[in-house]
A and B are shown apart, each in its own frame.
Chain A
Amino acid sequence: DAGVIQSPRHEVTEMGQEVTLRCKPISGHDYLFWYRQTMMRGLELLIYFNNNVPIDDSGMPEDRFSAKMPNASFSTLKIQPSEPRDSAVYFCVSAQKGGGQTEAFFGQGTRLTVV
């Protein structure tokens, strides 16, 4: 398996523009998480899905953020409109329950810069 695939790896956009981050999880995994990493806040959980259904979106900072998982092999995180404070590395994490616990694997991340 190629692991978790995220695109793009880097994104530079102007404030006010719409940004869409994409993720292809590991085949067979039933959990997908979106995390955001910044120097100030570390790794923050934004939202996670189980079997394509959003379970907990309490970490989504504002209504400008939305995430979808239309099928088991694809998810998107959208920011509209984007702001400079959204600049961060966004990670998609694929996971499956094993022995009662959730084993998680990170993608390479998307480095977003909003200018």
Chain B
Amino acid sequence: GENVEQHPSTLSVQEGDSAVIKCTYSDSASNYFPWYKQELGKGPQLIIDIRSNVGEKKDQRIAVTLNKTAKHFSLHITETQPEDSAVYFCAASIGSSASKIIFGSGTRLSIRP
């Protein structure tokens, strides 16, 4: 069936270093790939997204890359800061209508001071 796999499940990096989270998807019709950040006690918040017509998108310290051929996409956070500590979810739209969104299992990112 349709699924999104996310790795790693936990990630600890030194403050100032970079963090990379990777996802793969199964539906070749997927064309929208959002990333969400969930802080403790809150709902996931959209932080960046990428559409299938581009290979990379950047917003300050956050960037996403997409390889449609390999069906994988990644989140890159540079110069990590303590406030980046959270659970991050990747997601992919399902089907050509892109109405349904399936989430990865999440990555708990911890930034060591």
Cβ contacts A1-23/B at 8 Å (1 or 0 each): 00010000000000000000000
> Quick check: B105 and A42 within 8 Å, CB to CB?
yes
Q: Out of A43, A103, A109, which one reaches B46, CB within 8 Å?
A: A103
Q: Does B61 contact A (CB under 8 A)?
A: no
Decide yes or no whether B86 CB sits under 8 A from chain A.
no
- Across-interface contacts of B105 in A (CB, < 8 A): 42
Given contacts A48-B100, A55-B99, contact A102 B93 (CB under 8 A): yes
Which secondary structure dominates where chain A touches chain B? strand
Q: Main SS of chain B's interface residues? A: strand
User: What is the bound-complex CA distance between A43 and B104, given in angstroms?
Assistant: 8
Least CB distance, A97 to chain B, in whole angstroms: 8
CA distance A31 to B94 in the complex (A): 14
| Number of interface residues, chain B, beta carbon within 8 A | 22
Considering the chains assembled together, what is the distance between the CA atoms of A42 and B105 in angstroms? 5
CB distance from B45 to the nearest CB of A (A): 7
Q: Decide if B100 touches A101 in the complex (CB within 8 Å).
A: no
Judging by beta carbons under 8 Å apart, are B31 and A106 in contact?
Answer: no
Would you call A101 and B51 a contact (CB within 8 A)?
yes
Binding site for B on A (CB under 8 A): 4, 31, 33, 35, 42-43, 45, 48, 50, 55-56, 91, 95, 97, 99-109
**Can you give 26 contacting A-B residue pairs, CB < 8 Å?**
A31-B99, A42-B105, A43-B44, A43-B89, A45-B102, A48-B99, A50-B99, A55-B99, A91-B44, A95-B101, A97-B98, A97-B99, A99-B51, A100-B31, A100-B32, A100-B98, A101-B31, A101-B49, A102-B93, A102-B99, A102-B100, A103-B49, A104-B101, A106-B45, A107-B43, A108-B42
Interface centre among A33, A43, A56, A108 (most CB of B within 10 A): A43
A residues in contact with B49, CB < 8 Å: 101, 103
Chain A residue with minimal CB distance to B104? A42
**Complex CA distance for A33 and B100, rounded to whole angstroms:** 9
